[in-house]
Structure 1
Amino acid sequence: MRKKLWGGILLAAVCLLPLQAVVADDSRYQPTKQTPDTQTVYITDIETKDGHTYVTADPIQWYEGEAANQAFREHEQDPDMTEAPDGYYIVNDVVDPHTYELSPDAVVELQYYNSTGKWSEADINWNERVSEAKFVSLFTPSDKEIMMGFPYHLTVQDGKIVKVVQQYVP
């Protein structure tokens, strides 16, 4: 099964928010640096038990720029549309979830989230650091679907997540 995201995850949120709430200075955007320990994923579950937090994540392929256009053409083969909408493209041909422990001192950087309890007040704050506890708390029943719709870059070392970076989605 292949999941594709075309500016789509924020579509529901955008419909509910004033336009100025989702407009950002895209010129400040910097792609997340990939290392051998980094994987790009969708988070499919977060669970805390026995004092430990576990994140279940499904690896995806995230493309930007010309690489996104090339991946789009390979997967979509649509003669009327030859470039990835919004400059990015996601491929998830195989659902293969893995569960990792989230380190209590993990570095977590978010781009966009419901920090006040009202999505209408949400705004983009590039690489805003939040605590591991705050990150986990954002996956409430009412916000979980939106938070899980963003791609995340996880840095995993020795089986534990030591860094989480929410991917900005234009």
Structure 2
Amino acid sequence: MKKLTLLLIPLLLIVVMSSSMASNSEAAEPAYRPYTAKPGIQSETVYIHELRADGNGVQAVVDPIDWYEGEAAKEAFAKYEPDAGIDGPLDDYYIVNDDETLVTYPVAAHAEVLMQIYDRNGIDSDISWNEPISLDKLITKFGQRDIIDLSNFPYHITIEDGQITSIVQQYIP
């Protein structure tokens, strides 16, 4: 009986610790919430093609797109893909990019940058909803394309007084 007890105690500790760690990590990570623009403020969803820093500050070269989620994604999908043979987009989002004209905006030095996923450690990265990073860090990470290519993600930008004041990465599965 003593041998059985000595064997069961470590096993029980492993089970308890594993379930405790899983529930803590799930509780710590908030659920996805769709981006909501601030009322009365200009907001666009874009692909960022380039971020340039020079003596005059930072410039973002962007391609505006139409971003749809949920029911709006299903409606846009039906409009643009009527012969697809499926009821809607597979991941509950749909992107329309009818005009690939690039636009350049200055980026405010104090611009807020919120990321969902990027290369944090040189190996791979987990999702961390709306993680704030500096504009300088975004510029650095944007140029590193070996692990995660940040140019493949849409971004929601806020434009005030002709310059970008907020950049929010849109996670796509």
Q: TM-score normalised by the shorter chain: which range applies?
A: 0.7 to 0.9
Runs (4 or more) in structure 1 with deviation over 4 Å come to 24-27
Question: TM-score, normalised to structure 2's length?
Answer: 0.77
Aligned to 1:117: 122
Aligned to 1:158: 161
Matches within 5 A, 1:1-170: 28-35=31-38, 36-119=41-124, 122-143=125-146, 146-170=149-173
Q: One-letter code of the match for 1:131?
A: S
Change (3 A) 1:57 1:108: same
SS in 2 for 1:86: coil
Q: Deviations over 1:18-55 (max 9, x none)?
A: xxxxxx99971111112441110000111111151110
Partners of 1:94 and 1:145 in 2: CA distance: 26
What is the CA-CA distance between 1:142 and the residue it aligns to?
A: 2.8
Question: TM-score, normalised to structure 1's length?
Answer: 0.78
Change (3 A) 1:100 1:143: farther
Partners of 1:68 and 1:61 in 2: CA distance: 10
Long gaps (5+) in structure 1 = 1-23
SS in 1 for 2:142: coil
Aligned length: 145
Checking the alignment, whether the CA contact within 8 Å between 1:138 and 1:144 is kept in structure 2 is no
Q: Which has the bigger relative contact order, CA under 8 A and spacing at least 6?
A: 1
Task: Give identity over the alignment, percent.
Answer: 39
The alignment's C-alpha RMSD in Å is 2.1
What is the CA-CA distance between 1:79 and the residue it aligns to?
A: 4.9
Q: One-letter code of the match for 1:54?
A: Q
Change (3 A) 1:168 1:145: closer
SS in 2 for 1:55: strand
